[in-house]
Structure 1
Amino acid sequence: MGPVGASNLKPREFTTIKVSMSPELRVIKRYEVSPPPGTVDDSTLSLTYLDLLWLKNGSVERVFFYPLAVSVSHFIDSVVPTLKSSLSAALRHFYPLAGKIRSSAASSDGYEIHYADGDSVPFTVAEYSGDFDDLSSDHPRLFNDMLPLLPELPESSIDNNGIRLLALQATLFPERGVAVGISVHHSACDGSSSTRFLSAWASACAGAGVMVPPVIDRSMITDPDDLYSVFLNGIVRRQSNTSMMHLKAPPDAVLQSFTIGKYHIQKLKELVAQSGDLSFRCSTVVAAFAYVWVCHFKARLPEISNKCILMAMAGDCRPWLKPPVPAAFFGNCITFAFTEAKACDLEKENGVAAAARLIGKAVQVFKENPLKDAKHWPGGFKIEKEPDFLTVAGSPTFKVYNLDFGWGRPKKVEITSIAKTGAISVAESRQEEGGVEIGLVRPKAEMQLFEKHFYDGLKMFE
């Protein structure tokens, strides 16, 4: 592979994987891409307690759809070489992603990311017979038809060869478009860091050069309360490795996207403002989360009608830690804002306003102390998959619709790993400034209920 990196796997050419009756994925070639030889020294990077939270949770997966009308031969001859060389350039700065998580050589209870010269990232090039326009749309799509677009992290373990952290795939829909899929182990980094890596790769591919290098210094995350031991004993040692497997959604599960436009966001804010304390300023994100939380709850009736329902929002705590951590810090630096409500309160006419105030209060507590009650988080991880516990993945601040590999902005971006947890995904609207895009994976019947509540509610503002 020359300067791109050494290949540790024999390329498998033109392998056909049957997904269902149709469509089919044809693997054209598998590569192993490394940082340019000799550019990165061997190194170890200790996991922090914020990394440890995700050690047994496996990968976060996203897929970016780009319109690109090229043939298979043009894709292989002209597009793929640029993708490979730019990926190598980006990995020079984000080299931990080419390494592996292993047990620490210095501590029996520790874990670290180890990188050695020549370590690599699996990069698959494929062709898919699916309908590009259908899969990159907003309407309900069979979720399992998305899975072939996502690379799986190679099987590995902490005790033997270590856990690999990143896998990538570029899939061509001939004469229609390209899907760029990413699977990144959450214990390596959070969404902010992985998006910075993708931005660096895209920027290098487009010829704009690699972006500002990340800050790779885990000593910035201090641990005066020994949360490392709390999370090690309360989460890592109580979870089995099966939670790291690539899970599939039920056969009837569908992925669907919903957009709350700028107009409706403003109307939701006004609704919240009219319902009580005028000093409470409802943000765009809080308004969107509140509305979706209520729609989610209504779609689950009567399953959770008599329960206390919970919501957990992961938030970037870089600016809120003491001392603050740079925005370019590479690793995990997210904690949680938790809130709960009685189901009957959200069922009322002013349910959205009530939800917004609860979420707003939780966000404020998060900003004041992102680590408040952190010792109790292991209990939250045990119930996060319950139907009355809604979690959020992604953020409008990531600006995923700005990622341009030289082919223009993506038509669609999906966080597909939400199928594992039942979470909702959140991104900025690709249609207009100030809007919010929401993604869900649900059984078809439940999705239809959610859709009805979502659009019926917005019609009230017309």
Structure 2
Amino acid sequence: MGTSIIEKCHISPPPNTVGQKSLPLTFFDIVWLLPPPVHQLFFYNFPHPKSHFIDTIIPKLKHSLSITLQHFFPFASNLLLFPSRPTKPEIRHVDGDSVALTFAECDLDFNHLKGNHPRDCNMFHPLVPRLENAFKETNDIVKIPVFSIQVTIFPNSGITIGLTNHHALCDARTRYCFLMAWTSVARHGTNEFFLSNSKWVPVYDRVIQYPDSLHDVVLSYPLFRTLDENYKVPDQLVQKVDRVRFTLVLTRSQINMLKKCVLVQLPSLGYVSSFAVGCGFVWSCIAKSRVRVEGNKGEYEVERFFCVADLRGRLNPPVPETYFGNCLGPCVGPTKTKAITGSEGFATAVEIVAKATREWVDSNSIQGMLNDPTTMLETVFMQVPSVGVAGTPKLNVYDVDFGWGKPEKYETVSIDYNDSISVNASKESSEDLEIGLCLSAKQMGAFISISKAELESILQSRAF
């Protein structure tokens, strides 16, 4: 059977709580108009029958979502483009706007899906929803739904909650605030506890300061000319992928040993974050596995590491932590494949990641990005092999508890369609790293073998 639909519905904020509101897109939102949506998937143990799910969980989620949307109205709104007008894109809410919510049933093996071992990526795709289609409101306005949810019951085993959002809606921090608010309302039945905890309440003021001309510079960039009346949100889920999904967990003790290894080889590097060590280790092992499977196509082949950093605390003046929207800056580290596949490849990869995350988000680099966004766009959309990063260990996805327990597993399904990895705090400890990868079965086999051997070699070394 696979996956079958139990119910499809649309959830709006409670009547007369939002009304008509508009939220203009900032420069930091507009640069995310083109990339495909973000797909997240949470796994929860739920040893109850389908009837219990229908009678208790469905009403609870509908009610709590409606209450939450009055505080996070953009999730129930539409993104508006104005192809024939010089009007900036915006998110607009009117009475009746809603979030598409699907309830489904699946007969796949829940325990197999939530594991860390290699699993077929295609099994996850029916568990995350698609965004509803863009449509024309008038001849010169294109409306684009920005958020959808799917809740799937595996009878007597578990529940998954799949979320899909247009990246122009918000970044990971805003999405996390929404989830913490929704789960609070689901657990307590009201919004009182959420509202008393100001660290999740969104700030809608457009407080980021930069020249208005930045919008025009970005929208005139060649790739953005597709934002016309025929605009469609890229739908990745229609494509099958020949990949498997695997989760690598690096414990705090392993990370500390990896740090020591790097600093023995590169003592001048100074402080090295757990994020840089984890990403550098995985990036180097991915490159080595690719060379093992595909051969060395040239010792001077260029590739790069790419991630984004939250700029809320780095802008001048700083932006509130609960600022609603995107507030991200790119961190890019280019190199030659040979540099990260040699005997010192791991240390070199960590050095590149550390420098990229340190140098690209200092005040001068941020100001340079605002003064010359074209250079930033050319860097972001550069067509070279890249290992990107989705997620952040600073936001603990395993705290997303709707009232039946914390997640058993978290997956970023959208990395199936690009060369990104996911990096999050681990389920067992927020000091451990949980890193998700999607590679061909052959390359994944090579990656697992190489990463295991390298980790054992480093941990068993007497150099420390």
Q: What TM-score results when the alignment is normalised by the length of structure 2?
A: 0.89
Q: Which residue of 2 aligns with 1:333?
A: 327
Q: Which residue of 1 aligns with 2:103?
A: 125
Q: Which residue of 2 aligns with 1:354?
A: 348
The residue correspondences of 1:257-296 to structure 2 (distance < 5 A) are: 257-278=247-268, 280-296=270-286
Match of 2:183 among 187, 202, 218: 202
CA distance in structure 1 between the aligned counterparts of 2:58 and 2:204, rounded to whole angstroms: 32
1:29-63 per-residue CA deviation (whole Å, 9 max, x = no partner) reads 01100111111121111111111111122310100
Please tell me whether the aligned partners of residues 317 and 335 of structure 1 are also in contact (alpha carbons under 8 angstroms): yes
Question: Structure 1: any 5+ residue segments left out of the alignment?
Answer: 1-22
Please tell me whether the aligned partners of residues 88 and 215 of structure 2 are also in contact (alpha carbons under 8 angstroms): no
Determine whether 1:444 maps to 2:441. Answer: yes
Q: Which residue of 2 aligns with 1:428?
A: 425
Q: CA deviation at 1:342?
A: 2.0
Determine whether 1:313 maps to 2:313. Answer: no
Bigger drift between 224-233 and 319-328 goes to: 224-233
Runs of 4+ aligned residues of structure 1 deviating over 6 Å after TM superposition are: none
CA distance in structure 2 between the aligned counterparts of 1:341 and 1:324, rounded to whole angstroms: 32
CA distance in structure 2 between the aligned counterparts of 1:105 and 1:448, rounded to whole angstroms: 47
Q: Which residue of 2 aligns with 1:10?
A: none
- Aligned-partner residue type, residue 377 of structure 1: M
1:91-139 per-residue CA deviation (whole Å, 9 max, x = no partner) reads 1110011110112599624100010122100100110011100011111
1:139-161 per-residue CA deviation (whole Å, 9 max, x = no partner) reads 11111111111111011147555
Q: Which residue of 1 aligns with 2:48?
A: 70
Q: Which residue of 1 aligns with 2:75?
A: 97
- Aligned-partner residue type, residue 224 of structure 2: V
Determine whether 1:232 maps to 2:219. Answer: yes
CA distance in structure 2 between the aligned counterparts of 1:290 and 1:194, rounded to whole angstroms: 26
Q: How many residues align?
A: 438
Give the aligned CA root-mean-square deviation in angstroms: 2.1
236 and 105 in structure 1: CA distance in 2 versus 1, 3 angstrom threshold: closer
The residue correspondences of 1:167-206 to structure 2 (distance < 5 A) are: 167-206=148-187
- Aligned-partner residue type, residue 65 of structure 1: F
Please tell me whether the aligned partners of residues 83 and 141 of structure 2 are also in contact (alpha carbons under 8 angstroms): no
Secondary structure of 2:60's aligned partner: helix
Secondary structure of 2:219's aligned partner: helix
Bigger drift between 78-87 and 297-306 goes to: 297-306
CA distance in structure 1 between the aligned counterparts of 2:178 and 2:146, rounded to whole angstroms: 13
CA distance in structure 2 between the aligned counterparts of 1:228 and 1:420, rounded to whole angstroms: 28
Q: Which residue of 2 aligns with 1:223?
A: 210
1:193-248 per-residue CA deviation (whole Å, 9 max, x = no partner) reads 11111121112111175434533435212223833223212242257946622345
Q: Which residue of 1 aligns with 2:58?
A: 80
Q: CA deviation at 1:278?
A: 4.3
CA distance in structure 2 between the aligned counterparts of 1:108 and 1:304, rounded to whole angstroms: 47
Match of 1:396 among 393, 396, 417: 393
Q: Which residue of 1 aligns with 2:402?
A: 405
Match of 1:456 among 453, 456, 459: 453
CA distance in structure 2 between the aligned counterparts of 1:320 and 1:329, rounded to whole angstroms: 13
CA distance in structure 1 between the aligned counterparts of 2:206 and 2:84, rounded to whole angstroms: 16
CA distance in structure 2 between the aligned counterparts of 1:357 and 1:367, rounded to whole angstroms: 16
Report percent identity of matched pairs. 31
Match of 1:42 among 11, 20, 31: 20
Q: CA deviation at 1:444?
A: 1.1
Q: What TM-score results when the alignment is normalised by the length of structure 1?
A: 0.90
Q: Which residue of 2 aligns with 1:163?
A: 144
Secondary structure of 1:349's aligned partner: coil
Bigger drift between 441-450 and 369-378 goes to: 369-378
CA distance in structure 1 between the aligned counterparts of 2:285 and 2:80, rounded to whole angstroms: 42
Bigger drift between 225-234 and 52-61 goes to: 225-234
383 and 278 in structure 1: CA distance in 2 versus 1, 3 angstrom threshold: closer
157 and 446 in structure 1: CA distance in 2 versus 1, 3 angstrom threshold: farther
249 and 274 in structure 1: CA distance in 2 versus 1, 3 angstrom threshold: farther
Please tell me whether the aligned partners of residues 269 and 351 of structure 2 are also in contact (alpha carbons under 8 angstroms): no
Match of 1:55 among 18, 23, 33: 33
255 and 242 in structure 1: CA distance in 2 versus 1, 3 angstrom threshold: farther
Please tell me whether the aligned partners of residues 299 and 449 of structure 1 are also in contact (alpha carbons under 8 angstroms): yes
CA distance in structure 1 between the aligned counterparts of 2:152 and 2:211, rounded to whole angstroms: 46
Please tell me whether the aligned partners of residues 300 and 338 of structure 2 are also in contact (alpha carbons under 8 angstroms): yes
Q: Which residue of 2 aligns with 1:245?
A: 235
336 and 76 in structure 1: CA distance in 2 versus 1, 3 angstrom threshold: same
176 and 55 in structure 1: CA distance in 2 versus 1, 3 angstrom threshold: same
CA distance in structure 2 between the aligned counterparts of 1:55 and 1:315, rounded to whole angstroms: 18
Q: Which residue of 1 aligns with 2:375?
A: 376
Q: CA deviation at 1:403?
A: 0.7
- Aligned-partner residue type, residue 149 of structure 2: L
Please tell me whether the aligned partners of residues 420 and 437 of structure 2 are also in contact (alpha carbons under 8 angstroms): yes
Please tell me whether the aligned partners of residues 203 and 320 of structure 2 are also in contact (alpha carbons under 8 angstroms): no
CA distance in structure 2 between the aligned counterparts of 1:238 and 1:40, rounded to whole angstroms: 32
Secondary structure of 1:206's aligned partner: helix
Please tell me whether the aligned partners of residues 309 and 361 of structure 2 are also in contact (alpha carbons under 8 angstroms): no
Question: Structure 2: any 5+ residue segments left out of the alignment?
Answer: none
CA distance in structure 2 between the aligned counterparts of 1:154 and 1:57, rounded to whole angstroms: 16
- Aligned-partner residue type, residue 256 of structure 2: Q
Bigger drift between 215-224 and 114-123 goes to: 215-224
1:364-406 per-residue CA deviation (whole Å, 9 max, x = no partner) reads 213313534443122234335x4x2111110011100111011
Please tell me whether the aligned partners of residues 250 and 443 of structure 1 are also in contact (alpha carbons under 8 angstroms): no
